[in-house]
Amino acid sequence: MRDHFKVTPDKHLSLHNVDLFELSRSEDTPLFVFDEDCLVKNLATIFDAFKSLYPNVIVSYSIKTNDNLAICNIMKENNAYAEVASELDLYIAEKLGIPGEHIIFDGIFKPDKFIRKALERRISIINAESFTELERINKIANNMGITQSVGLRINSWKPKIFINNLNPNNLNETINCNPSSRFGFSINDAKSVFKRREKYKNLRIEGLMIHPYHSAIETFASLISEAQSLGIEIKYLNVGGGFDSGFVLHVNYLDLILDLIKQKIGFKSKMDERSGKALDIGIAAKHITGKVKELGLKSMPTIVVEPGTYIVGSAGLLLVKVDHVKVSGGYKWVVVDGGKNILPATSVLARQRVIVVNKMNWDNFENVNIIGPNLFKDDVLALNKHLPTIEEGDVLAIFDCGAYAMTNSTQFLYPRPAAVMINSKMEIKKIRERENCANVIYKDII
Ligand SMILES: Cc1ncc(COP(=O)(O)O)c(C=O)c1O
């Protein structure tokens, strides 16, 4: 997306030569804006990164990241499979005519009804997360008189070394539990599934899966040799998602405090000039394909990747309008018309890039806090941002909001916004209508 911006003579930001300030006026705000070319390019980049190193690769778009029909359709048109994790995801895949053999079924919650639907659609593989699930799939497949291909999701959770526990971001893990250990089978449990496979007469155990990809693909090695020794052929190695484009800088509270102190003693904040650690997809692909090749298998398994954020994250931004600016407690608060109701993943710790779209190349800057229109304390989109002097009616673009924003947004206090997609032909396609108040309550009954 970043390659497709320009500044108009009016000092407005444009995407594919579409003036975003004018767009915010004609379409109203808040407004999600997607770059169609960027979606296609991100998908092609991840596909090529793997395909250039390894012969059998499936890229399966993770629908929950952004389930908008137009976006999912672009994925389908560009040969991506669909990773579904709920009945809603499956419905969307069907609505787009994605054939069952291009659907991969993941997730910790798979009630019978949903398994049956998936089996009726002849979906390619179900990645199972527990013994109960294997028994359920086996029983339903048996009732239907079919055999179903399944993979085992592996849980490679390891205790964190003590020093990691001092990081405030890991507090939940330190105090409460090991949240990621709820997913999938432990290595030992997976081995016992292999040994007990006769019990699952209607299942073909053909895959191993792990998510996110960096959580130790190495784990597969011992499982594959165990499977081989028992005559089980693993055809699919699924490494999930987790390929972050790296544009969003994730900080912790200590970083924020140090940055503030630096500014108090007269240094300029450098925080907004940094971005997150950019992922080189080529390096990730080399690591994964290298590990698979090291397994030295006679017939090469297919590598499956399930990207979501990598494809849509950087392809979407949110336009919000400044309702008013208020000075209180010695701070300047910029109140905008969309907040954590539509950007739930945004926080003061995820420093999204913000640009005032109608004040490009501006001379006067100031530090402000940007807050949403909601009534809860943490409805803060950004703290201490160095931006052009802001006034009522200005429009801000919050970058890298393509993933987990439209799907996770709520109707708390406000109907949900519209979305448009722009391409290099300067076409502006409406991909979601703005909701109104009647839409929000239309299922209520007095
Ligand atoms: C099983 C699985 N696959 C793929 C994804 C997509 O991950 P990402 O958005 O990091 O690419 C997720 C996200 O939670 C997931 O749970």
Q: Is 307 in the pocket of ligand 1 (CB under 6 A)?
A: yes
Q: Is 129 in the pocket of ligand 1 (CB under 6 A)?
A: no
| Closest C-alpha residue for ligand 1 atom 5 | 241
Within this chain, do residues 43 and 31 fall inside the same structural domain, yes or no? no
Within this chain, do residues 88 and 227 fall inside the same structural domain, yes or no? yes
Q: State the distance from the centre of ligand 1 to the C-alpha of 98, rounded, in angstroms.
A: 19
The pLDDT assigned to 260 comes to 80
Q: Is 309 in the pocket of ligand 1 (CB under 6 A)?
A: yes
What distance in Å separates the CA atoms of residue 152 and residue 186, rounded to the nearest whole number?
Answer: 10
The pLDDT assigned to 353 comes to 87
Q: State the distance from the centre of ligand 1 to the C-alpha of 403, rounded, in angstroms.
A: 10
The pLDDT assigned to 121 comes to 95
Nearest 5°: CA angle at 148, between 147 and 150?
A: 140
The pLDDT assigned to 173 comes to 58
The torsion of the CA quartet 247, 286, 34, 412, rounded to 10 degrees, works out to -70
Answer whether residue 269 is part of any domain. no
Answer whether residue 152 is part of any domain. yes
Q: State the distance from the centre of ligand 1 to the C-alpha of 420, rounded, in angstroms.
A: 24
| Closest C-alpha residue for ligand 1 atom 4 | 241
- Stated pTM of the model: 0.93
Within this chain, do residues 292 and 388 fall inside the same structural domain, yes or no? no
Answer whether residue 424 is part of any domain. yes
- What lies within 8 Å, CB to CB, of 118 at 6+ separation is 84, 90, 103, 105, 126
Within this chain, do residues 44 and 14 fall inside the same structural domain, yes or no? no
Please, are residues 150 and 205 in contact by the beta-carbon 8 Å criterion? Answer: yes
What distance in Å separates the CA atoms of residue 437 and residue 446, rounded to the nearest whole number?
Answer: 16
Answer whether residue 254 is part of any domain. no
What distance in Å separates the CA atoms of residue 317 and residue 354, rounded to the nearest whole number?
Answer: 10
Please, are residues 239 and 216 in contact by the beta-carbon 8 Å criterion? Answer: no
Local structure of residue 301 (DSSP, 8 states): P
Which residues of the chain register pLDDT less than 70?
157-180, 272-278
Within this chain, do residues 114 and 19 fall inside the same structural domain, yes or no? no
Q: Is 153 in the pocket of ligand 1 (CB under 6 A)?
A: no
Give the nearest ligand 1 atom to 65 CA: 9
Answer whether residue 286 is part of any domain. yes
The pLDDT assigned to 296 comes to 81
The pLDDT assigned to 366 comes to 92
Q: Is 151 in the pocket of ligand 1 (CB under 6 A)?
A: no
- What is the DSSP annotation of 158-217? -PPPHHHHTSGGGHHHHHT--GGGGSSB-HHHHHHHHHTGGG-TTEEEEEEE-SSTTS-T
| Closest C-alpha residue for ligand 1 atom 2 | 240
What distance in Å separates the CA atoms of residue 240 and residue 252, rounded to the nearest whole number?
Answer: 26
Q: Max Cα separation, the chain? A: 73
The pLDDT assigned to 170 comes to 61
Q: Is 211 in the pocket of ligand 1 (CB under 6 A)?
A: yes
Q: State the distance from the centre of ligand 1 to the C-alpha of 170, rounded, in angstroms.
A: 20
Within this chain, do residues 393 and 296 fall inside the same structural domain, yes or no? no
Query: Which of 65, 75, 126, 314 has most ligand 1 atoms within 8 Å of its beta carbon, as the pocket-test mutant?
Result: 65
What distance in Å separates the CA atoms of residue 121 and residue 128, rounded to the nearest whole number?
Answer: 17
Answer whether residue 255 is part of any domain. no
Q: Is 417 in the pocket of ligand 1 (CB under 6 A)?
A: no
CA distances from 337 to 129, 149, 322, 341, 342 (A): 41, 48, 7, 10, 10
Q: Using one digit for the tens of pLDDT, what is the confidence trace for 183-234? A: 899 999 999 999 999 999 999 999 999 998 887 788 888 899 999 999 999 9
| Closest C-alpha residue for ligand 1 atom 10 | 242
Q: Is 138 in the pocket of ligand 1 (CB under 6 A)?
A: no
Q: Is 242 in the pocket of ligand 1 (CB under 6 A)?
A: yes
Q: Is 207 in the pocket of ligand 1 (CB under 6 A)?
A: no
Within this chain, do residues 179 and 298 fall inside the same structural domain, yes or no? yes
Q: Is 310 in the pocket of ligand 1 (CB under 6 A)?
A: yes
Within this chain, do residues 117 and 25 fall inside the same structural domain, yes or no? no
What distance in Å separates the CA atoms of residue 238 and residue 62, rounded to the nearest whole number?
Answer: 13
Within 10 angstroms of residue 101's Cβ, the number of other Cβ atoms is 11
Q: State the distance from the centre of ligand 1 to the C-alpha of 241, rounded, in angstroms.
A: 4
The pLDDT assigned to 172 comes to 59
Give the nearest ligand 1 atom to 306 CA: 4
Within this chain, do residues 382 and 325 fall inside the same structural domain, yes or no? yes
CATH number at residue 187: 3.20.20.10
The pLDDT assigned to 176 comes to 56
Within this chain, do residues 122 and 94 fall inside the same structural domain, yes or no? yes
Q: Is 402 in the pocket of ligand 1 (CB under 6 A)?
A: no
Total domain count for the chain?
2
DSSP-derived 3-state class of residue 431: strand
The pLDDT assigned to 68 comes to 98
Within this chain, do residues 306 and 331 fall inside the same structural domain, yes or no? no
Within this chain, do residues 207 and 333 fall inside the same structural domain, yes or no? no
What distance in Å separates the CA atoms of residue 87 and residue 94, rounded to the nearest whole number?
Answer: 10
Answer whether residue 256 is part of any domain. no
Q: Which domain holds residue 352?
A: 2-35+314-441
Q: Is 67 in the pocket of ligand 1 (CB under 6 A)?
A: no
Please report, in angstroms and rounded to a whole number, the separation of the first and last CA atoms in the chain.
Answer: 46
Q: Are strands 125-128 and 148-153 parallel, antiparallel or unpaired?
A: parallel
Answer whether residue 358 is part of any domain. yes
Q: State the distance from the centre of ligand 1 to the C-alpha of 211, rounded, in angstroms.
A: 7
What distance in Å separates the CA atoms of residue 216 and residue 198, rounded to the nearest whole number?
Answer: 29
